[in-house]
Chain A
Amino acid sequence: MLYPTQTHSLQELQQQAAVASKVYVQRDYNSGKICKFQTKFPSELESRVDKQQFEETMQTLNNLYAEAEKIGGKSYLEGCLACMTAYTIFLCMETHYEKVLKKIARFVKEQNEKIYAPLGLLLTDPIERGLRVVEITIFEDRSIGSGR
């Protein structure tokens, strides 16, 4: 299980539905090396989810990653402090990046529960795919009887 099943709808999905296919949203490297995913709406999802909604999800995700990788006063301070303590400070506290990654995990879970699971879709947290792709699993809706 990719997610600890806490909501009823997610549980139902993973127990009853079969995976029909997977869609991959690749990284967008046009802005450089920062972690950013393409916001283009994949054609396979046209029948399933609203384009606006999907693009909003992707944009928020991109913004969160930008926040994680932001180079500014706070990250410099953290870096200098870490260097001075020979990086032992990370035994006690999390790096800024890790904190934002947790936030992203919560966001993805929330999006799944509220929006995507009822539509028979499941977003995989990109960190589980090495920040390469956003994997969207399309579940076949057995209960309704309509395949993909």
Chain B
Amino acid sequence: MYLGLDEPVRECQYNQICTRNSLPMETLGHKKKKIPRRKWQVFPGRNRFYCNGRVMMARQTGVFYLTLVLIMVTSGLFFAFDCPFLASNLTPAIPVIGGVLFFFVLGMLFRASFSDPGVLPRATPDEAADLERQIGAANGPSGPGYRPPPRTREVVINGQTVKLKYCFTCKIFRPPRASHCSLCDNCVERFDHHCPWVGNCVGKRNYRFFYLFILSLSFLTVFIFAFVITHVILRSNRTGFLSALKDSPASVLEVLVCFFSVWSIVGLSGFHTYLISSNQTTNEDIKGLWSNKRAKDNYNPYSYGNIMTNCCAALCGPLPPSLIDRRGFIQSDTTQPVSHSNGSSMYASTQLHTHMAAATPLLHSNSVMIGGGGPPFPGKSSLVVPCASLAPSQPSLPSMPGLSCAGDMLTLRDPDTHCHHHHFASPEETPSPSGPMPLTLPCAAHMTHGGHIHPAQLYDPASQDSLHEDSVRGLVKLSSV
């Protein structure tokens, strides 16, 4: 019921065993298996799938279990210890309302955690080749110029110019408002943030569930807090404060948990209410993309104009279906891009060989650079380090949910700043250390890695020339396919 599926629950009842698979590392391919495999088994992102592809979560799920335990234990204690007193002394409606709220919270949590946030499937090899061809053609012949082909497209939406970025991992031009999550290694539509508390990204398809979860959780927290305090006060009117606490020790724990949660969760709900009413994502708000401080005539092109329409569109608008067919069977003749652990994609089509051959100059030159390049530029390394240090330490964030959500926001910033490295045409976005620095190395690096841990950015000007030539040659080879 909470699985957030497109299929009826009755199918899941037959599934006694939930197959737990981490992402596949082996190649799909020419192996002819008797049992047809499902698409989730060869999904290239860093997600975990349960219940034979019906449930989809991020890789790190520790904090999600903590959330679940906190909610269930606190509510359990409330129903066990405080509700009997309150039901008999005040009204039985209290446990009923509490129960409804509790189940709603759990339902929304499961729906937000288990559903596909709006992951964009990666490009098929033919598509990727076609795009490379187009980019190569748009750039003109590869002359002696050092400017690598721009990987951005500009569109005008509602009067505002929006840049569409090319994702090197997914090999697509990202739709507006989409972003690549470095933790899950997927491009997600209308990417809001990656929430460790929910154990999933928050994107187009599960934003409303996430919002309803935090909203209902704030009501539940306030509800429990208020009624536990009422309970203790009523008891202490009869028997004195200390003996009241002795009679119901659980109340102390509940008050503590609720007190600390209220600030962060209510604050977060308020923040997201503001985001919904102005139709922005957390991503956009942090970057200040649509604020007036950037430019005088800057405005949000996605907003519908008034708060009511924005809210209705976000919460009651049509729910788009999942674009990744998790439970579909792999067709033997369709080619599926599969990621290896090093991030480079292997294709089962014949174009693979030409691609790989073309890509090797880039890979080769990249490894040469890392081995013998100059020291990492201090300005750049400061951008690399936070990402690397934040991402692994996600589960051990401080207990304040507000801070941790700020933590996830920081993480999501870094991939975007990294992705900015690929946008040679926009010097104001890339913090260029010294003058215009053509950034081909990150381009090559991203092609090999695809993950969120980027190699140190090297800016040795002397070896840049050979690198540019290599990369240009590599791209020319790719485009000639």
Chain A contacts to B: CB under 8 angstroms: 1-2, 22-24, 26-27, 29-33, 68-71, 75-76, 78-80, 82-83, 86-88, 90-91, 95-98, 101, 127-133, 135
Contacts and interface: CB of A to CB of B under 8 A. Distances in A.
B313 interface: yes
Contacts of A24: 126-127, 130-131
Contact of B324 (A69, A97, A130): A130
A2 B111 CA distance: 31
A27 B175 contact: yes
Interface in B294-352: 301-302, 312-313, 315-321, 323-325, 331, 333-334
Contacts of B8: 91
B391 to A, nearest CB: 26
B286 interface: no
Contact of B318 (A68, A80, A86, A91): A68
Nearest to A131: B323
Contacts of B334: 2
29 contacts: A1-B331, A24-B131, A26-B173, A30-B155, A31-B157, A32-B158, A32-B176, A32-B301, A69-B318, A69-B320, A70-B318, A75-B318, A78-B316, A78-B318, A79-B316, A86-B103, A87-B107, A88-B1, A91-B1, A95-B318, A95-B319, A97-B320, A127-B323, A128-B325, A130-B323, A131-B323, A132-B121, A132-B172, A133-B127
B124 interface: yes
A68 B318 CA distance: 8
Interface of B: 1, 4, 6, 8-9, 103-104, 107-108, 111, 120-121, 123-124, 126-127, 130-131, 155-158, 162, 164, 172-173, 175-177, 190, 209, 212, 301-302, 312-313, 315-321, 323-325, 331, 333-334
Given A30-B156, A32-B301, A80-B316, 15 more contacts: A1-B331, A1-B333, A2-B331, A24-B131, A29-B164, A32-B157, A79-B317, A82-B319, A87-B111, A91-B8, A91-B9, A98-B6, A127-B321, A127-B323, A129-B127
A30 B155 CA distance: 6
A71 B319 CA distance: 11
Nearest to B162: A29
B155 A29 contact: yes
Contacts of A101: 321
A99 to B, nearest CB: 10
Contacts of A79: 312, 315-319
B437 to A, nearest CB: 30
A29 B154 CA distance: 9
B321 A130 contact: no
Nearest to A88: B1
Nearest to B323: A130
Contacts of A23: 130
A87 B110 CA distance: 12
Nearest to A31: B157
B175 A22 contact: no
A23 B134 CA distance: 11
Contacts of B301: 32
A97 B316 CA distance: 13
B333 A83 contact: no
Contacts of B319: 79, 82, 95, 97
Given A1-B331, A31-B157, A79-B316, A97 B321 contact: yes
Contact of A97 (B124, B156, B318): B318
A15 B207 CA distance: 44
A30 B124 CA distance: 24
- Which one of A31, A88, A128 has the highest number of Cβ atoms from chain B below 10 Å of its Cβ? A128
Contacts of A96: 318
A29 B176 contact: yes
B439 to A, nearest CB: 25
Given A129-B124, A132-B120, A71 B317 contact: yes
- Which one of B108, B121, B318 has the highest number of Cβ atoms from chain A below 10 Å of its Cβ? B318
Given A29-B176, A32-B301, A33-B175, A76 B157 contact: no
Contacts of B123: 132
B175 A29 contact: yes
Contacts of B317: 71, 75, 79
